[in-house]
Amino acid sequence: MKDVNTKPTGMNSLGLKFSVVVFIAITLAGLVFAYAVLWLQEQALSEQQLAAVQRTAKNYARQLNTQLDDKEEAAILASQVIGRYLTEQRRAAGNIPRPDRDNMVRQQDSFSAAAIPAANLNTNTSLLFSHSQLLWQQLSPLMLQQFSAFYFVSAHQFVRVAPADLLQQFSPQHDLTADLFYQEAIPENNPAKLPRWTPVYYHPIWQEWVISILVPVYVKEQFIGVSVADLELSELTGNISNIGYWSRHTQTLLFDAAGQAVTSPGDINISPVAGNTLYPGEPITQPALREHIRQTLQPSLPADVSADHKYLFAAAPLKHLNWHAAVYVDKAEVMATLKQFRGHVVVIFIAVAVALAALLHLISYQFVLKRLNRLSGAVVKLSRGDIQQVSLDNKKDEIGVLNRAFTGMSAEIAQLVTGLNARIAEKEQAERAARKLSKAVSFSSSGILLTDPHLNIEYLNPFLTDLLGCDERSVVDQPLNMLLADEMEQLSAEITQTLHERQHWRGDILLQHQKLPARQFWVSLAIAPIRDEIGTLLNYVCAMQDISFIKQSQKQMEHLAYYDILTGLANRSYFRDQLRKAIAMAHRGYYNFALLYFDLDEFKRINDTLGHDAGDELLKEVARRLTSRLREEDTIARLGGDEFAVILSGIKRPSAGINHCR
């Protein structure tokens, strides 16, 4: 029997009309969506680039801060060596040169040079020539690796400098004590005796733009002079071009507290200046950059809405120099790569709209025919004895009425046939699942325990009975907390309350062997409820895993992480934590504390002459003596090598005033 099909043609076809409407809707929606996606992509790219710029700025500042911290530490150590050396030396070695034509006493070797006005030469100042000469022979090779110049200036205008050729430019009429690098360190301007960083200034002798680390030198609490380590400005600014290598659009900038750019001396144009003149900086010509810098330096002021924020800008402060390290990217250059894709995206969306419209046209063309084919196929299946139902639509048109009538008839037939098969299959599946579950619980390598709703034990699997060393009958109907160790008794109430509030409990507990009370072991315990179909609580299932080995490993790892293997004292990490706690307690006003730091003199000689084993025994003996002489609440640590530190805690604050100890 042939099918008779009468279908409309041209614009009378609903499928064609539907396809045209869909094409127009998809095209319009696609264009709107494309521009929305591009706009969101621009925003996301801006945020991504800004995050990268901020990360680069922080890394740049961190790099400079680390470099300056290392140099400050080296300058402080050198100053301490100078003070200690000048304190210990008493006799002069060698001859002091005679005054030259300029009435100056000068001395020079391959390591350093020294000078002093002849009028200031006396017994004490003559000692500085010989003492500092020997000392500079040791210090100058190390200090000149990090600094462009390293020198010491005394209150009597004695100067010892490395490298030696720098002193050739020293004028006899020059007053060293009036220079910035000296005035910043004297007790009147630095009563705290702390190291200081100078601003960038024009050095009166070297005639270079430098920044100096000033460390006052005291001998027996008396100021005798200042040790100075100079850094050329070009050394700090020379690495600017290498920052931001991740993008060819990235640019970097250093600016000071006045908003002026800090550049290499070769990049600036400054008229001849006198010594000790502060570095003026370079004005920034771009208005957008000036606005970013102003907002960085004065965040409390309102932003200039009229400013053209054409840059993605980020700045991070430097700890020592009152500068900011800035990284910025031209936003237009970053977004240029996206604009070229807009035309391609529009073309792609139009092509997709055409393809979807054509596809929907085919679907709508076959819409009615497919429904009839599906219904006829279902009739054929039923006539052949295949009672499995075919999914038919349930619309309110004529085909939908036929589908509902056929579905109702076939459902009644299928229900009678499949009902019994379903019950048999469910019963067999339940039996197989029960057997699998029983075997899984019995042969599990984890402890499985069932309790009633009141946490009374009903069942233990064989693995758990072996672990506890008990017979199942001896613990059945007993409360769960009987398995806990004595120190875990208080945990029973917490478990009960947590199960009542949250229905589940998970944690690590300590169990006790039933036949050997002294034997205890840690397990990871998880408790979960078992409910019936209506939600009634039937049982609790407890799963246990032996973690004693993990606990023991954690304890050993903590000991290795916080204690020195050789001496048994606390290591640097543990000492740092205890020091933070002591400082916090002192800030809160509870107690004062004392901090002692020392090392062993001539320890290297012991290692070199007697061997490292003798050195190790010396360190152990020092640790034993420290431990025997100090209290248990005090912290004793070996920081590394022959360095030790002690925190004497629990010192009560005095009632009147606070005494500072240096």
For residue 645, the domain's CATH number is 3.30.70.270
Could you check whether the bond before residue 216 is cis, i.e. omega within 30 degrees of 0?
no
My answer on whether 223 and 241 are in the same domain is no
Q: What is the Cα gyration radius of the chain?
A: 43
Assigned domain for 59 exists: no
Q: Looking up tokens 């969306």, which residue turns up?
A: 349
What is the per-residue pLDDT across 375-433, written as a single tens digit (0 to 9) for each? 777 777 767 766 666 677 777 777 777 777 777 777 777 777 677 677 777 777 767 76
My answer on whether 545 and 573 are in the same domain is no
Assigned domain for 542 exists: yes
My answer on whether 90 and 224 are in the same domain is yes
**Which residues are paired to 65 by β-bridges?**
none
**Which residues have C-beta within 8 Å of that of residue 298, sequence separation ≥ 6?**
none
Look at phi and psi of residue 462 and say left if phi exceeds 0, alpha if psi is from -120 to 50, else beta: alpha
Mean pLDDT over 625-652 rounds to: 82
110 burial type by CB count under 10 A (0-12 exposed, 13-18 middle, 19+ buried): exposed
Assigned domain for 480 exists: yes
Measured between alpha carbons, how far is 200 from 210 in angstroms, rounded to an integer? 5
- Statement: residue 657 has pLDDT above 50: no
Hey, CA dihedral for 191, 194, 199, 204, is it positive or negative? positive
- Tokens found for residue 416: 């009678």
My answer on whether 219 and 87 are in the same domain is yes
- Tokens found for residue 538: 């039937």
What is the per-residue pLDDT across 121-169, written as a single tens digit (0 to 9) for each? 887 778 788 888 888 988 889 888 889 899 999 888 889 999 988 887 7
**Domain-ending residue, one of 289, 317, 334:** 334
- Tokens found for residue 504: 């589940």
CATH number at 454 reads: 3.30.450.20
My answer on whether 547 and 520 are in the same domain is yes
For residue 229, the one-letter residue type is A
Looking at 215-341, list the stretches that DSSP marks H as alpha helix, in order from N- to C-terminal side. 233-237, 287-297, 331-339
- At residue 150, the pLDDT reads 92
What is the per-residue pLDDT across 255-292, written as a single tens digit (0 to 9) for each? 888 888 888 765 555 555 677 788 888 888 888 888 88
Half-sphere exposure of 658 (CA within 13 A, CB side): 11
- Residue 273 backbone phi and psi in degrees, to 5: -125, 160
Judge contact between 451 and 537, C-beta under 8 A.
no
Measured between alpha carbons, how far is 84 from 93 in angstroms, rounded to an integer? 18
My answer on whether 515 and 546 are in the same domain is yes
**Domain-ending residue, one of 334, 357, 392:** 334
My answer on whether 528 and 614 are in the same domain is no
Global pTM reads: 0.48
Strands, E, within 137-284: which ranges? Answer: 149-154, 159-162, 196-197, 201-202, 209-219, 222-232, 250-256
Measured CA distances, 29 to 360, 407, 639 (Å): 16, 40, 68
Hey, CA dihedral for 75, 76, 80, 81, is it positive or negative? negative
Assigned domain for 401 exists: no
- Statement: residue 485 has pLDDT above 80: no
What is the per-residue pLDDT across 37-60, written as a single tens digit (0 to 9) for each? 777 877 887 888 888 888 888 888
**Maximal CA-CA distance, the chain:** 135
Measured CA distances, 146 to 85, 133, 161, 236 (Å): 22, 20, 15, 12
Mean pLDDT over 180-190 rounds to: 88
My answer on whether 316 and 216 are in the same domain is no
615 or 213: whose pLDDT is higher?
A: 213
My answer on whether 98 and 221 are in the same domain is yes
What is the total count of domains within the chain?
A: 4
Look at phi and psi of residue 244 and say left if phi exceeds 0, alpha if psi is from -120 to 50, else beta: left
Assigned domain for 358 exists: no
My answer on whether 125 and 213 are in the same domain is yes
My answer on whether 535 and 603 are in the same domain is no
What is the per-residue pLDDT across 506-535, written as a single tens digit (0 to 9) for each? 888 888 766 666 567 788 888 889 888 888
**Domain-ending residue, one of 311, 334, 357:** 334
Task: Read off the pLDDT band of 77 (50, 70, 90).
Answer: very high
Assigned domain for 71 exists: no
Residue 249: domain span: 237-334
Measured between alpha carbons, how far is 403 from 408 in angstroms, rounded to an integer? 9
My answer on whether 180 and 255 are in the same domain is no
- Statement: residue 189 has pLDDT above 60: yes
Measured between alpha carbons, how far is 297 from 641 in angstroms, rounded to an integer? 44
- Tokens found for residue 432: 């197989």
Assigned domain for 19 exists: no
CA dihedral 166, 168, 172, 173 (to 10 degrees): -60
